[in-house]
Structure 1
Amino acid sequence: MGFGKKLLAAGVVAAGAGVLAVAPRPGFDKRNHDVPEVPDVPYAHRGLHDAGSGLVAGYEAESGDYVDLARRMAVQAGYGSADFAGPIAPENSLASFAAAAEAGYGIELDLQLTVDGQVVVVHDSDLERVAGDPRRVADLTYEELTAIPLFPAPAKPGDAEAKPLDAAPATAPEGYYQHVPLFSDVLKVVDGRVPIIVEYKFDGFDWSDRDDELMEKGDALLSAYAGPYVIESFHPGAVNWYKQNRPEANRGQLADFASFGTDKKAVTEWMAGLLAFDWLSRPDFIAYDWHGGDTPQVRLARAMGATTVSWTVRSSAELGESEPYFDRFIFEAFVPRKA
Structure 2
Amino acid sequence: MTRPPLPQAFLHAPIAHRALHDLTQGRPENSREAIEAAVAAGFGIEIDLQPSSDGVAMVFHDNTLDRLTGETGPIKARTAAALAAIPLTGGPSGIPTFAEVLEIVAGRVPLLVEIKDQDGKMGDNIGALEAAAAETAQGYDGPLAFMSFNPHSAARMAALAPDTPRGLITAAYDPKDWTMLSAETCAHLAMIPDMDRAEASFISHHAPDLGRARVREIAAQGWPVLCWTIRSAEAEAEARQLADNVTFEGYPAAIPA
TM-score normalised by the chain length of structure 2: 0.89
Are the counterparts in 1 of residues 228 and 248 from structure 2 also a CA contact under 8 Å?
yes
After TM superposition, the structure 1 = structure 2 runs for residues 158-307 of structure 1, keeping only pairs within 5 Å, are: 177-202=92-117, 203-208=120-125, 211-260=126-175, 265-307=182-224
Please say which of residues 276-285 and 262-271 is displaced more in the overlay. Answer: 262-271
Call closer, same or farther: CA 1:285–1:231 in 2, change over 3 Å: same
User: 1:48 corresponds to which letter in structure 2?
Assistant: L
For the residues of structure 2 that align with 1:246 and 1:145, how far apart are their CA atoms?
26
Gaps of 5+ in 2: none
Name whichever structure is richer in helix by fraction: 1
1:319 counterpart (217, 236, 239):
236
Are the counterparts in 2 of residues 42 and 328 from structure 1 also a CA contact under 8 Å?
yes
Call closer, same or farther: CA 1:318–1:263 in 2, change over 3 Å: closer
Are the counterparts in 2 of residues 260 and 267 from structure 1 also a CA contact under 8 Å?
no
Call closer, same or farther: CA 1:124–1:264 in 2, change over 3 Å: closer
Task: Please give the per-residue CA displacement for 1:106-164, whole angstroms capped at 9, x wherever unaligned.
Answer: 10001111011111000110011112433111111122223322124xxxxxxxxxxxx
**Secondary structure, counterpart of 1:329 in structure 2:** strand
Call closer, same or farther: CA 1:36–1:252 in 2, change over 3 Å: closer
**Secondary structure, counterpart of 1:248 in structure 2:** coil
Are the counterparts in 1 of residues 121 and 180 from structure 2 also a CA contact under 8 Å?
no
Tell me how large the CA RMSD over aligned residues is: 2.1
Per-residue deviation at 1:301?
0.8
For the residues of structure 2 that align with 1:265 and 1:144, how far apart are their CA atoms?
35
Are the counterparts in 2 of residues 271 and 277 from structure 1 also a CA contact under 8 Å?
no
For the residues of structure 2 that align with 1:215 and 1:260, how far apart are their CA atoms?
27
**Secondary structure, counterpart of 2:197 in structure 1:** helix
Task: Please give the per-residue CA displacement for 1:207-243, whole angstroms capped at 9, x wherever unaligned.
Answer: 33xx322111211121221111111111111111233
**Secondary structure, counterpart of 1:130 in structure 2:** coil
For the residues of structure 2 that align with 1:48 and 1:329, how far apart are their CA atoms?
14
1:149 counterpart (79, 84, 87):
87
Call closer, same or farther: CA 1:102–1:314 in 2, change over 3 Å: same
For the residues of structure 1 that align with 2:17 and 2:181, how far apart are their CA atoms?
30
Aligned to 2:255: 338
After TM superposition, the structure 1 = structure 2 runs for residues 65-214 of structure 1, keeping only pairs within 5 Å, are: 71=25, 88-152=26-90, 177-202=92-117, 203-208=120-125, 211-214=126-129
Identity percentage of aligned residues? 30
User: 1:102 corresponds to which letter in structure 2?
Assistant: A
Call closer, same or farther: CA 1:312–1:264 in 2, change over 3 Å: closer
User: 2:124 corresponds to which letter in structure 1?
Assistant: W
Per-residue deviation at 1:50?
1.1
Are the counterparts in 2 of residues 107 and 197 from structure 1 also a CA contact under 8 Å?
yes
**Secondary structure, counterpart of 2:39 in structure 1:** helix
Task: Please give the per-residue CA displacement for 1:241-278, whole angstroms capped at 9, x wherever unaligned.
Answer: 23334332211110112224799634213321221333
User: 1:149 corresponds to which letter in structure 2?
Assistant: P
TM-score normalised by the chain length of structure 1: 0.69
Call closer, same or farther: CA 1:249–1:147 in 2, change over 3 Å: closer
For the residues of structure 2 that align with 1:181 and 1:131, how far apart are their CA atoms?
13
Per-residue deviation at 1:285?
0.4
Gaps of 5+ in 1: 1-24, 52-66, 72-87, 153-175
Are the counterparts in 2 of residues 45 and 107 from structure 1 also a CA contact under 8 Å?
yes
User: 2:190 corresponds to which letter in structure 1?
Assistant: G
For the residues of structure 1 that align with 2:111 and 2:144, how far apart are their CA atoms?
5
Call closer, same or farther: CA 1:260–1:50 in 2, change over 3 Å: closer
* Structure number, greater radius of gyration: 1
